[in-house]
Each structure stands twice: as C-alpha cells, then as structure tokens.
Amino acid sequence: MTSTDNKLNLVKIYFYVCHRFEIELKYLCERFSNNNDPEFTDQEAVTIYLYTMRLENRLNVKDIHEFASGYLREWFPKLPSYEAFNVRINRLSEVFRVLSETVLNNFIPQGCSKTIKLIDSMPVITCSGKRTAKVAKEITDKGYCSTKGIYYYGLKLHALGCYHKGYLPHPEQLLFTKASENDLTHLKGIAPYLENNTYFGDKIYGNVEFWKEMQRVNNSIMLTPIKDLKGQAELEKQRNRAYNDLFSKAVSSVRQPIESLFNWLIEKTNIQKASKVRSTKGLLTFVCGRIAAAFIHLIF
C-alpha cells in the first residue's frame, strides 16, 4: 500500500510527465497506425516506471508491473499484461533519454559551482569479458574497468558534474559510449564546449600537451593526481614525493564526490548490472530509464 506522501508524489510525477509530453515527448513515440490512441497511455507507462522504481525501489520491469498491478490498479485501471507493458516500456527509450536531460537541465540545485567540474566514468555491464556478447552488439563492445580490475562487455557511462560543496555533484552531462572508448578520447570529443572551467579527474585525463592547448584556447585546466613519469630517476621521485602526495590527495578529495554519485546511482537503480537485457531497445531503455528515475525526485 502506498503512503499519502507517495500518492502525492505519484500525482506530481504524472502531471509533470503529461506536461512534458504536451511540449515535446509525444513527438518521440508517435504511432502511425490504427492503434494511435491506446487506452493505456504512454504517459501512464512512464509514470508507473519512474514512480515504482524511484519511490518503491522495484528495479526491474517485472517487479514494477507486479507492484502496479497489486497497488496502483485503482489509479491505472487499463494496465495491460506484463508482456504488453514490457513491450511498451522498451519502445520509450528516446522518451526517457529526453526526459532525463530535461530534468537535469531544468532542476539544478542551488549552490552548484559554475566553474568547478568533476569528471569520471563507470561501466554498465551486459556480460562478463570471459563470455561471448550476444546483446546490443551495435552499441556495446569489450572494455576494461581498472577500478574493478575486470574485462566486460557493455557500455561506459561518462559523467561531467558541477561541484556542489557538501553534496553530490549535479550532472551537467551524462553520455554513454562503447566500453572500449578511452576516457580521454571521449573528453577530446567534447573539448570545444569545455570553456572557462577547472576540471578534476583521475590520472587517465592527465594529458599535459592536450591541457596546455585547452588552457590557451578555452581557458580551461585539468587537475589530476600526479603519476610518476617513465624513466624518472629514483632520487628525483623521492625528492618530489611529499609534494606529489599532498597535491594528489587534495585533488582526490575534491573529485571523490563524483565517485559517490556513481555509487548512489548504482544503489538507487542498479544501473551497472544490465545482464538481463535482451535487446538494443531494452538496453537503451534500461540506462535512460534508470537515469530518469534516479533524478525525478528533483521535481518534488
């Protein structure tokens, strides 16, 4: 049974979703057939998905449908079977993508820095690297996660967040690439938009020549933990160790919240484990829907 507060939030989500559908989302899921006006609407499907995942902590479509069937039937009397609901959800990946972008852009918490940005990435795993991938091959491939020390098939989620002292960073950009794409390569692709900011990242972003050019052209700098140079004499390493350790610790303390953001996202949506996905549309809905569900609380 849902509480009074949750019922109120259900209504808020429904009205917000309907509002966004009227503005833009309806054009992303238009039907050009006799079934262009179904009794159970896309607005209802999206509302059930977002509400049940975020506020009732049901993290897969079957559990979402079971909860809706058991506790939300009076709100959604035309709720179809699980199979039909699953098909409907899987065709709404673009709706979830645009909805998540809208929520993140329109509901930025007060106190977010406009000049200090944190950047990092995390894996979204469809299967182990020891197996042969069979799902969504056109958008996934094999990559390596140094944090976990594993090879995997899937996607890589890149996050660029606004620093917010004492809180999780607010994502300015969330982008997916194939698992094999290098983090720095991805960053170079969006370099023209990285102007007048200070960025904090891990060692993989520490390309000295690239950031010299970025500072000259875009007035942007990147601070990363210091890594030892190849061929550097041991005596020189020891001489610089105190400074390097202190600087690296300071940088890591500033960029640590982006890792906490990923941990929070995993805890709320289990976005990292996509092993039960069976199609490309399903994978796109899986990642975009979970991001939308995670941040939908910003509208409350």
Residues 36 and 172 placed together within one structural domain of the fold: no
Number of domains in the chain: 2
Q: What is the pLDDT of residue 194?
A: 87
pLDDT digits over 103-130, tens only? 999 999 999 999 999 999 999 999 998 9
Residues 177 and 256 placed together within one structural domain of the fold: yes
Residues 255 and 166 placed together within one structural domain of the fold: yes
Residues 228 and 193 placed together within one structural domain of the fold: yes
Residue 299 lies in a domain: no
Q: What is the pLDDT of residue 263?
A: 95
Residues 118 and 264 placed together within one structural domain of the fold: yes
Lowest mean pLDDT: which of 15-29, 53-67, 221-235? 221-235
pTM for the structure as a whole: 0.91
Residues 167 and 79 placed together within one structural domain of the fold: no
Residue 233 lies in a domain: yes
Residue 291 lies in a domain: no
Residues 78 and 145 placed together within one structural domain of the fold: no
Residues 115 and 241 placed together within one structural domain of the fold: yes
Residues 137 and 251 placed together within one structural domain of the fold: yes
Mean pLDDT, the chain, rounded, equals: 91
Record the tokens describing residue 163, joined without a space.
């620093």
Residue 51 lies in a domain: yes
Domain extent for 214: 111-273
Residues 9 and 135 placed together within one structural domain of the fold: no
Residue 189 lies in a domain: yes
